[in-house]
Amino acid sequence: MGNFLNKHLPIEFRVFFRGVLVVVFVFILIPLTSLLIWHLIPSASLGVVVIDKTVSTQNFQEHQSLHWLLNHFKFTKRDGSIFDESKDYFGFFPGDKKEQFEIADLSGQTDSQKQQILKNSRLVYFSDTYGVYENDLKQEPSLTPSKKIYGGMDTFDLSFMKQAYQEEIDIIGEFNTIASPTKKEVRKEFEEFAGIKWTGWIARYFDELDTVLNEELPPWLVASYKKQHQEVWDFSGPAMVFLHENGQVEILRDKIEIKNTVPNIMSSPKSQDTYGIPEIVKYPYWIDIIFVSREFEVISYYDLAPTDAGVAKLSELGLPRYFPAVVMKKNGTGKFYYFSGDFADNPVSGSSYNFYGIEKLWRMFLHSEDYSQRNSFFWNYYYPLMGSILKDTYQRN
């Protein structure tokens, strides 16, 4: 065939023909094969309860990637249907118009209903309890934090979590589960029960603190800092912003107090082998800084690479050199995880979950230390971490 083409067809046509074959192979045959393999893999039933109170829009981004993973790994609900991010959770449900919404959370379930839910579940995931605020629906900036409409872990949530723990069901909590606006008495009860203590601090990397160059800086953040520091905000360039529940704002500047431009999530060789995660991944989003009891295994931790001045500043704030990022403790036949970051908040395409091996394609273009693309964290860290956890949960049950 090759000799025939070389003999009877002009070189321009042969080059074009080979190009067409490459296009067909890359853009048609590979996706079709990937789709076929995915459909040939058998499904498995896995009961999962998701609590998300931070759903101000119908993109459901605070838990969408979790539902995507459940569907991608072919876990179904008990009736065999796929997980629907718009329905399969408890919390805040936005309407078609900004002012329209519905609240359907655990407080609306009877004790017998909650017991039945737990009976059919092997994983409870608290993806976000921060809530929804007036400015979220108005989508307008404000010099002060806006009024809460709904949010915070409540006694119904905590009671449900403790009941799940008692029945040795796997539990995942992540930022924001117990930080503001959760009431202090609920948080204290959670801390005593879980063996996790919030320091009161949350932090986030910003790539530019010059308010002229970065219009996305929260106006209330700048206003709060100026109020506390003689009305001065003379920052520029990247930095870590630390915010305490009492309103205190502190800045750790790049190359002055910290050497890592963006926080590194570091994982030990053991964690890399167990969960398929990389040694280093950048994470430039909100984190909560916690202390954990000795019974927890630290799967990953944050490293800001502070300078001597940075270490002194952290010590002044009552904070350690390293912060836990992902921790786990065993609970009989169950496991309790906590993610100190907004890990489930990832932009993913809801229609792409049914392609086998799609993660390999994405990782060819998105390096684990490339934080310029938000979905880099999803493909390089959250995807393998949650894939390992979900499969482990299923296999143990």
Report pLDDT for 207.
Answer: 93
DSSP assignment of 84-147: -TTTSSEEEEE-SSTT-EEEE-GGGS-HHHHHHHHHT-SEEEEEE---EEHHHHHT---SSPPP
Please say whether the beta carbons of 308 and 142 come within 8 A.
Answer: no
Please say whether the beta carbons of 309 and 337 come within 8 A.
Answer: no
Report pLDDT for 4.
Answer: 53
Pairing outcome for strands 48-52 and 123-128 = parallel
As averages over each run of 10 residues, the pLDDT of the chain (397 residues) reads 55 55 56 81 96 92 94 95 95 87 95 96 97 81 75 97 98 94 96 97 95 90 93 93 96 94 94 97 95 97 97 97 98 98 88 82 79 89 98 94
Report pLDDT for 85.
Answer: 94
Report pLDDT for 140.
Answer: 63
The DSSP output letter for 325 is: E
Report pLDDT for 374.
Answer: 83
Q: What are phi and psi of 230, to 5 degrees?
A: 55, 35
Pairing outcome for strands 196-206 and 287-292 = antiparallel
Report pLDDT for 14.
Answer: 52
Length of the chain: 397
Separation CA 340–CA 296 (nearest Å) = 14
Report pLDDT for 143.
Answer: 58
